[in-house]
Structure 1
Amino acid sequence: MESFTFPLDISELPSTLSPLLRTVQSFPVLPMLKPSSVPDGVAAVLVLLSALGYMTRGRMWDKPDPYYKVWFERPQLEDGASSSKGAITRNVAQRLEESDYQAVIFWGSQSGTAERFAETLGRECHTRFGINALVADISDYDAESIAELQEKHFAIFLLSTYGEGDPSDNAAGLWDWIKRIKGQATKLKSLRYLAFGLGNSNYKYYNRVLDVVVDALDAAGATPLMPPQRADDAEGATEEDFQSWKDDMFALLRGMGYEQKTVAYQPTVSVEFVEKVHSENDGPVHQVSVHHQQTSLNSAIFPLPVRNSRELFTAGDRNCIHTELDLGNSDLVYKTGDHIGVWPCNPDEEVERLLETLGLSGRRQDTITIAALDDSAKPKVPSGSTLEAALRHHLEICASVSRKTVFDLAQFAPTPEAETMLTRIGQDRTRYEQFTSSTHITLARLLQLSSPLEPWTALPLSFVVENLLSLQPRYYSISSSSVISPRRIALTALVVNKEVADENKSTIHGLTSNYLLSASKLPLNTKVATPTFQHTSTTGGEGGTVFAHVRKSKFKLPITSSTPLILIAAGTGFAPFRAFLAERAKLHALGKPVGRMLLFFGCRSPHSDYIYREELEKLQETLGDKLRIITAFSRDGNNKRVYVQDRVAEESETVLEMLSAGANMYICGKASMAREVDAKLEEAVAQQKGMKESEVKNWTDGLKKRGKWKADVWG
């Protein structure tokens, strides 16, 4: 090393750099660094400053915040609150002892249904039987402490199953503990429990979480107070299945010596009208859910203009729309394979019907305040909304009404005839199922049907808010590639309209699909009158604005573009594969290596609902022998119905060969279709490789764990 001075006149440099250059003029540098011009000198200064900044980061600047971790800690007490017992314990047995609880209701929930059931059950245990029950998010407590529960207590498990027989995210700790205690016969000898599972029989691993947990508890010596029961959402029976299980549980409690009381309605929220003078300067109507939270998986909700909508079906009386949501200058980003959650609003007809039956049409624009009267109550409507906004944007007024709600409504009936009708339906499951199978029953339609002449003026608004679910988003697989279309999200939606076999030949309209059709301003293919919706207008006049957020997905293309792909879809399940193929075609056009792709696509007919057919033909031209398309048509004018799983069975040798060569397989569509595809492939691998049932299971599980076999399916 040797030192030297820059052979530059400092006066030639900008005044801001002169002091810096004086500092480094005698700095030791390598002999080959001989700046001889002003740009070279400036470059040398910048290099030295960068090095200095790098070495002093964290000591002289950008120091870590010592309290940064607080942002990720879960608060267990209210701000400023204190307790003589210190922080709330994670030992559930200790919590029950300290707070004089008689039971604990654990919930494991992915979508919120099990959590809602647990809160309802906790309130009813207290009001009907005087049982003080702790309603507990399983993740709030150490699962190991369940083993310490005393025999005087009992536990209730409400557990959901989703995906490939997976537990909910908040039940991960319980799941790990259950696996550890399996076979320890005396581990839980003092535990008494009841269990109810939430699942869908269209999925391969229907209620697997409940089965695994119950088997492990029994094997470890726990005592079931009654056999476990299961909800089946395949036919939309979850609410009724829960009600039936709850009836059995209440009968059990009566048999255990608990006295059941007849309880008058006790609201958990107060809903009041308040005086408010409206002016032109009032802010926008509350349209965004109070429950949605931005997380690592879910973005915030944004208003997105609808652009470039078009009809995909070429014949028939159904609609299937392609529409694009413009991200504009918003912070919303997505990746190929993600989901878009669309937040609909309720149609004008149902809003008007409910206001009229409640006798509140004249108060639609009056402001309401909502306050929780119970610790477990969570407001579904933001306080300060108008009554109309609450019914239009925040509550599921188009959903069917549960049997319990039918029965509870009877006490507020405006006529003796209405009370008798609702009581009879609410008390008898068979009568309720017959009634709902032949009649489309929303809350407004039920009130109107039971009392066509008298409005329900005695029905408290708090009852309406409590018994209607919060309006939820509907998720769609994004059908555009973020590489090709980073500021436009495309979605593909089949517009659902289901006819009901009642005397009025009424129709159940899919809420969000009809909402999107309305926003797209496309003509209707159906002859049935469709609902009308309010939309915020956008510039350009192409369509309305919808509220939406992005949910991250693991349904992703492999990092290496040369990885072969097997894509299996029926109907709108093709949506994410449109994005996958477009992205691969772009890479191929740029000269990048692209793996072999085998696409199975099923629909009714090539002449009516073969969606994106022209696009697929162009992709075939672009990709050549890299893409092979195999179609299955279930209503193609002949007697034989061919489904996508049949084509997979016919091509099973090719599919298994590609999987053995490292291909990634993706299935998208209805869960029943995916289950059939699984069965066909498992049968094929058993025959072709001579595997036993256990070996086949290990083979499929291995592919799924390595991310080589992925499914994105629904109901």
Structure 2
Amino acid sequence: MTLQDGLPGHRAVPARQSLARRQIAAKPRSALILYGSETGNAQDVAQEIARLTERLRFDTVVIDLDSIDLRDLLKHTIIIVAISTTGQGEFPQNARSFWKILLSSQLRSGVLRRVNFTTFGLGDSSYPQYNVAHRMLHNRMLQLGAQLFCPRGEGNEQHPEGHNGEFRAWIVDLKQELLQHFPLPEGQNIIAEDVFLEPKWCLRISPDSTNGSSNNTPANGVSQETLTLDTPPANDILPIADSVIADLTVNTRLTPSDHGQDVRLLDFTLSSNIDYGPGAVAVVYPKNFPKDVNQFIECMGWQSMADTLLELVPTTDVSDLATYPPSPLRYLESTKRAFTIRELLTNYLDIVSIPRRTFFASLAYFTKEGNEEESYQKERVLELANPELIDELWDYTTRPRRTILEIMPEFPSVKIPWQYALNIIPVMRGRQFSIASGGSLKHLENGNTRVQLLVAIANPPNPIIKLRKRYGVCTRYIATLQAGQQLSLTIQPGYLNVSPDEVNSPVLLIGPGTGVAPMRSMIYERLEWARRSNSRKPSLLFFGCRNETADYFFRDEWQNLADQSLTVFPGFSRDQDKPRTYVQDLVRKEASLVYKTLKQDQGKVYICGSSGNMPKGVREALADVLKEHGQMTAGQASEYLDQMERDGRYKQETW
């Protein structure tokens, strides 16, 4: 029985009348919307589901999976989970602890029999383990007795409209199932779409604030009159919970100034002694630039409030915040309780993100119809908020990569109330970067921890709006960092799951571009393990870049390590005097050695780098090697690679 078939002994959707009997009449209708999200997509889906349940009169809480106890599932009328699959069929970072608890052998098969639930998964069918985390969680809940009230849904990023294509149809079905199984209380109707739902949290002027604004000077000490587009954000440390303070010692550009891409090597020192393994990531929390912040403040008409001290408070009286939906800024240290609008826009609100449909849905409540121009703007906002017109949103925002900062001046009549800034503007996410250091590079002589990052500064051309420059939110910030600055970093384990006993196996390391960062960490870690165990198996690195003289990263290091069981096979795709070569071409070129490593020596494969064509091409090349040297059919080669995945011998981390 496949994952999609469910588990034996469980019905796909329980009988409707049994659900009706199991409704809890003694307490209010409540919905717990859970998410496991790496990039924010599943969290956005959860928020949209929550808007539906609130309009259906459910008291709704939205929170990540790792922030609840299993017992919390029994306290609510319905449970809805939105979860993405990441890495090699892995759970997102904020869902891993919950999954471990769910797998406990101490849980009896009927422990969740009073839970009514459904799930929606987000995945990418170009990955071998498509939506597998979602399917495992869904089936485990069924195994523990939870009752399914709506068939699960799955979104595929390969759909022309991304995961929204399937989600748009699924949420319609969800609404019908909710109304069927959990009818509205007598005398109550669905809350109409044009009625504004008061958020759980809002901003208000702090009692500690002095009325009026400050001296109108940003935190970096530069006056508004002298700001330029390149004036960097202030060098204050963000109060991120569970983070460490990192001292930046080096921010070096590795590529020549005339090369098309700016790639940096950042070297951090952490006073804490933190261990990490190959594939670990450092989370960097970006900031917006003062000029952009000032522009947004002026666009919203918030000048008089920009520097007034505010606090984030619940919108309803509550005696115990532990039972109340969490704050949008719950990832900050609990001691951080007061903010200014300028501080929020600089450090915590992503005003240069591409707006999602839900952003326009929120804007619709603050449109006007006083004149013809205002009526047009309202009509346009409603078009962009309409899930049936997803192509319109795509053409207006996603395709030209228009940001919130850019679109708001096009709707001058729409003013977001500052009280709701945190509810409408997306919260800034930390960005993950694979750590490039490992082994002997991880610690300094004084015992401090060292973290190195290889970062490509995103500055893509705008395919539609030629005159507007595009930036990566975090990499633009990283490019301004100077040696001596301090940052808050969070270190996370990543998804490669490499253990010291793997030093006894040869490895194929395939990492083009900045994908070589975790490969470098792996190489140095394997050298350290080899010194301890007196075992040395070969490491074969397949590295691809554009030019041998421009972006052949760590070339000198590879030459110095050539006598330590490391062999590097470089390929260059843009050198004029060489044939265009990609990593998959290198795999085919070294077919006999690759086959020996995979089949005869039972080696392992690690693939890191950009998602899309590269990992597909590498897998096809490996299949070709097995067919050529192992006399396998296409089906046998594919099954061999699938088995390598199941055995943990084929791991992929792409972004």
Q: Distance in 2 between matches of 1:217 and 1:563?
A: 37
Structure with higher Rg: it is 1
Higher relative contact order (CA 8 A, sep 6+): 2
Select which of 155, 158, 169 maps to 1:230. 155
Secondary structure of 1:496's aligned partner? coil
Q: Kindly indicate whether the alpha-carbon contact (under 8 Å) linking 1:601 and 1:630 is maintained by their aligned counterparts in 2.
A: yes
1:490 aligned residue? 452
Select which of 667, 671, 683 maps to 2:607. 667
TM-score, normalised via structure 1 length: 0.68
Residues 3-33 of structure 1: per-residue CA shift (max 9 Å, x gap) = xxxxxxxxxxxxxxxxxxxxxxxxxxxxxxx
Matches within 5 A, 1:693-712: 699-700=640-641, 703-704=644-645, 707-711=648-652
The alpha-carbon deviation at position 158 of structure 1 amounts to: 2.3
2:13 aligned residue? none
Residues 386-415 of structure 1: per-residue CA shift (max 9 Å, x gap) = 221111111222211111221331331363
Is 2:409 aligned against 1:448? yes
Matches within 5 A, 1:590-609: 594-609=536-551
The alpha-carbon deviation at position 385 of structure 1 amounts to: 1.8
The alpha-carbon deviation at position 574 of structure 1 amounts to: 0.9
Is 2:124 aligned against 1:200? yes
1:261 aligned residue? 191
**1:697–1:171 Cα change, 3 Å:** farther
**1:591–1:160 Cα change, 3 Å:** closer
2:171 aligned residue? 246
The alpha-carbon deviation at position 344 of structure 1 amounts to: 1.5
Q: Kindly indicate whether the alpha-carbon contact (under 8 Å) linking 1:564 and 1:658 is maintained by their aligned counterparts in 2.
A: yes
1:43 aligned residue? none
Q: Kindly indicate whether the alpha-carbon contact (under 8 Å) linking 2:56 and 2:190 is maintained by their aligned counterparts in 1.
A: yes
Is 2:345 aligned against 1:391? yes
Residues 187-223 of structure 1: per-residue CA shift (max 9 Å, x gap) = 9999986542112344222223445667899999977
Consecutive unaligned residues of structure 2, counting only runs of 5 or more, are 1-20, 221-233, 317-323, 369-373, 445-449
Secondary structure of 1:508's aligned partner? coil
Residues 335-378 of structure 1: per-residue CA shift (max 9 Å, x gap) = 45232221211122321221111112343322111112362241
Bigger mean CA offset, 263-272 vs 316-325: 263-272
1:165 aligned residue? 89
**1:706–1:202 Cα change, 3 Å:** closer
The alpha-carbon deviation at position 512 of structure 1 amounts to: 1.7
**1:201–1:464 Cα change, 3 Å:** farther
Q: Distance in 2 between matches of 1:589 and 1:264?
A: 64
Is 2:347 aligned against 1:420? no
Q: Distance in 2 between matches of 1:356 and 1:162?
A: 39
Is 2:477 aligned against 1:515? yes
Bigger mean CA offset, 350-359 vs 366-375: 366-375
**1:508–1:652 Cα change, 3 Å:** same
Secondary structure of 1:671's aligned partner? coil
**1:360–1:206 Cα change, 3 Å:** same
The alpha-carbon deviation at position 638 of structure 1 amounts to: 7.7
The alpha-carbon deviation at position 322 of structure 1 amounts to: 1.3
**1:125–1:579 Cα change, 3 Å:** closer
Secondary structure of 2:511's aligned partner? strand
Select which of 124, 129, 148 maps to 2:56. 129
Matches within 5 A, 1:548-563: 548-553=489-494, 554-556=496-498, 558-559=500-501, 563=505
**1:110–1:485 Cα change, 3 Å:** closer
The alpha-carbon deviation at position 134 of structure 1 amounts to: 7.0
The alpha-carbon deviation at position 511 of structure 1 amounts to: 1.6
Matches within 5 A, 1:106-125: 107-109=35-37, 114=42, 117-118=45-46, 120-125=48-53
Residues 293-337 of structure 1: per-residue CA shift (max 9 Å, x gap) = 43xxxxx3314234252323474222011121133xx21534452
The alpha-carbon deviation at position 597 of structure 1 amounts to: 2.5
Identity %: 20
Bigger mean CA offset, 253-262 vs 331-340: 253-262
Consecutive unaligned residues of structure 1, counting only runs of 5 or more, are 1-92, 295-299, 521-541
1:270 aligned residue? 202
Paired amino acid for 1:616:
W
The alpha-carbon deviation at position 133 of structure 1 amounts to: 5.8
TM-score, normalised via structure 2 length: 0.73
Secondary structure of 2:490's aligned partner? strand
Q: Kindly indicate whether the alpha-carbon contact (under 8 Å) linking 1:336 and 1:556 is maintained by their aligned counterparts in 2.
A: yes
Q: Distance in 2 between matches of 1:234 and 1:544?
A: 43
Q: Distance in 2 between matches of 1:484 and 1:472?
A: 28
Is 2:238 aligned against 1:331? no
Q: Kindly indicate whether the alpha-carbon contact (under 8 Å) linking 1:119 and 1:376 is maintained by their aligned counterparts in 2.
A: no
1:40 aligned residue? none
Matches within 5 A, 1:632-643: 632-637=571-576, 641-643=580-582
Q: Distance in 2 between matches of 1:511 and 1:134?
A: 29
The alpha-carbon deviation at position 115 of structure 1 amounts to: 5.1
The alpha-carbon deviation at position 174 of structure 1 amounts to: 5.3
Select which of 316, 340, 344 maps to 2:282. 340
The alpha-carbon deviation at position 601 of structure 1 amounts to: 0.5
Paired amino acid for 1:467:
I
The alpha-carbon deviation at position 675 of structure 1 amounts to: 3.9
Q: Kindly indicate whether the alpha-carbon contact (under 8 Å) linking 1:341 and 1:550 is maintained by their aligned counterparts in 2.
A: yes
1:653 aligned residue? 592
Q: Distance in 1 between matches of 2:533 and 2:423?
A: 59
Q: Distance in 2 between matches of 1:694 and 1:174?
A: 35
Matches within 5 A, 1:401-416: 401-413=355-367, 415-416=374-375
1:480 aligned residue? 437
Residues 487-544 of structure 1: per-residue CA shift (max 9 Å, x gap) = 4322111111122233453233112222121114xxxxxxxxxxxxxxxxxxxxx453
Secondary structure of 1:270's aligned partner? strand
1:355 aligned residue? 297
Paired amino acid for 1:473:
G
Q: Kindly indicate whether the alpha-carbon contact (under 8 Å) linking 1:353 and 1:445 is maintained by their aligned counterparts in 2.
A: no
Q: Distance in 2 between matches of 1:585 and 1:643?
A: 27
**1:690–1:133 Cα change, 3 Å:** farther
Select which of 540, 544, 569 maps to 1:630. 569
**1:229–1:574 Cα change, 3 Å:** closer
The alpha-carbon deviation at position 481 of structure 1 amounts to: 3.0
Is 2:388 aligned against 1:460? no
Paired amino acid for 1:498:
P
**1:308–1:137 Cα change, 3 Å:** closer
1:431 aligned residue? 392
Q: Distance in 1 between matches of 2:259 and 2:315?
A: 52
**1:349–1:489 Cα change, 3 Å:** same
Q: Distance in 2 between matches of 1:645 and 1:666?
A: 13
Q: Distance in 2 between matches of 1:640 and 1:96?
A: 69
**1:617–1:371 Cα change, 3 Å:** same
Paired amino acid for 2:367:
A
